[in-house]
């Protein structure tokens, strides 16, 4: 597995949008709007690729204020779920964020994903809430 950053509008980005749609949006009956995708232009895009160059998983990092960064749109191909791709991708995103000077990683975890993030050292912050029609929890991890 190789994890690297790719740019908005590249073939890797297009593959990531397709994977995110299949894993995150399609099951909820949701589509991406052109405005939502355009807003990702200045974000940091990371992907995990197999030895053949196929996308195994991806995520987006969005810088926030006060040295914080938000991990979002984490998606792992169902064929790779439970095999470490997500764990390695999150670890790489934390390392990249630290290199860029961020000290706090935050995210909105779907309720079903909370145990995954707890295992990786994230903590629940506040009460649960609904986002895209399903239960979520805000989670954070200190990167220092």
Strand partners, 136: 110, 129
Q: Give pLDDT, residue 72.
A: 97
| Confidence tier at 134 by pLDDT (50, 70, 90) | very high
Mean pLDDT of the chain: 96
pLDDT in tens, 84-120: 999 999 999 999 999 999 999 999 999 999 999 999 9
Closest by CA to 71, choosing from 3, 2, 138, 1, is 138
Closest by CA to 75, choosing from 57, 92, 60, is 57
Q: Give pLDDT, residue 65.
A: 84
Q: Which residue has the tokens 């405005």?
A: 35
Contact 144, 103 (CB under 8 A): yes
Contact 102, 67 (CB under 8 A): yes
Structural domain of 54: 2-142
Domain count, the chain: 1
CATH of the domain at 95: 3.40.630.30
pLDDT in tens, 59-89: 999 999 889 999 999 999 999 998 999 999 9
């Amino acid at each position: 597995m190789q994890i690297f950053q790719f740019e908005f509008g590249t073939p890797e980005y297009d593959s990531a949008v397709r994977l995110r749609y299949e894993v995150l949006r399609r099951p909820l009956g949701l589509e991406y709007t052109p405005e939502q995708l355009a807003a990702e232009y200045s974000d940091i895009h990371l992907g995990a690729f197999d030895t053949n160059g196929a996308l195994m998983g991806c995520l987006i990092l969005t810088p926030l204020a006060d040295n914080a960064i938000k991990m979002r749109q984490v998606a792992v191909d169902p064929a790779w779920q439970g095999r470490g791709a997500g764990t390695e991708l999150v670890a790489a995103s934390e390392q990249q964020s630290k290199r860029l000077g961020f000290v706090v990683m935050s995210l909105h975890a779907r309720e079903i994903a909370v145990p995954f993030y707890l295992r990786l050292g994230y903590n629940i912050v506040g009460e649960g809430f609904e986002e895209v029609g399903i239960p979520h929890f805000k989670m954070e991890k200190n990167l220092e």
